[in-house]
Amino acid sequence: MNLDIWDKVFQDQDWGRYPAESLIRFTAKNFYQKDRRKINILEVGCGPGPNVRYFAKEGFNAYGIDMSSIAIDKGKRIMEDEGLSAELLVGNIEKMPYSDSFFDGVIDNECLYCNSLENTKKILGEIKRVMKTEGLFYSRTFTNDMYTGRTQTKISDFEYNEISDGPFANKGYTRLIGGDGIKKLYGQFFHIVSIDRLISTINNEEIVISEWIIICQKPA
């Protein structure tokens, strides 16, 4: 991940304050019927924290970590303005400052895709470490059918840089993944509960947005 690029993204763009429907469904299905005061949920690569804000509003113990101090400062201001309580930290998700087996749930909402395969393995190892046994991991990431611009620099079959237009424009390195890749990568660390796909279009169907929703569990 190129921190300078993402600092500029967070500086220039006003991000939404609401979670995706798939994340709400995941949270409602797995955590709504539990004592929310005892449920710890972390988002890795949280940006300015719209999902962390949602967890805090719903009464969970909400945590977020991101390398961008600009994003975290924005998130803290939003939390303060709305009277919400959450722990937002500037930090490296390859080596997180949390205790082993602390979180009931961990969220990756389009964070892992901007990390190399080797770095992603380190991150997944850290996520596993900080999760409780049988804790749940929600990962939303881009499929190999995703639009990658009219022009781009191709690093490998699923890795790109300098994408000219579309959702990845001006965001540096991008790593896509296929279904077999999910099983190989995520399966090294977790029991994969489900793999589903979200497909939508923008610009009158000119651009395809194709994402995986991956739910995993830390094995006992």
Give the pLDDT score at 161. Answer: 92
**Residue 60 CB coordination number (10 Å):** 23
Other Cβ atoms closer than 10 A to 148: 20
Is the predicted pLDDT of residue 157 greater than 70, yes or no? Answer: yes
Give the mean pLDDT of 130-156. Answer: 96
- The answer, yes or no, to whether residue 9 has pLDDT greater than 60, is no
Task: Give me the pLDDT at residue 171, please.
Answer: 85
- Domains, the chain, in order of start with CATH, read 3-217 (3.40.50.150)
Is pLDDT above 80 for 10?
Answer: no
Cα 167 from Cα 9, distance rounded (Å): 12
Q: Which of 25-39, 66-80, 121-135 has the lowest mean pLDDT?
A: 66-80
Give the per-residue pLDDT at 18: 80
Q: Is there a contact between 112 and 80 (Cβ–Cβ < 8 Å)? A: no
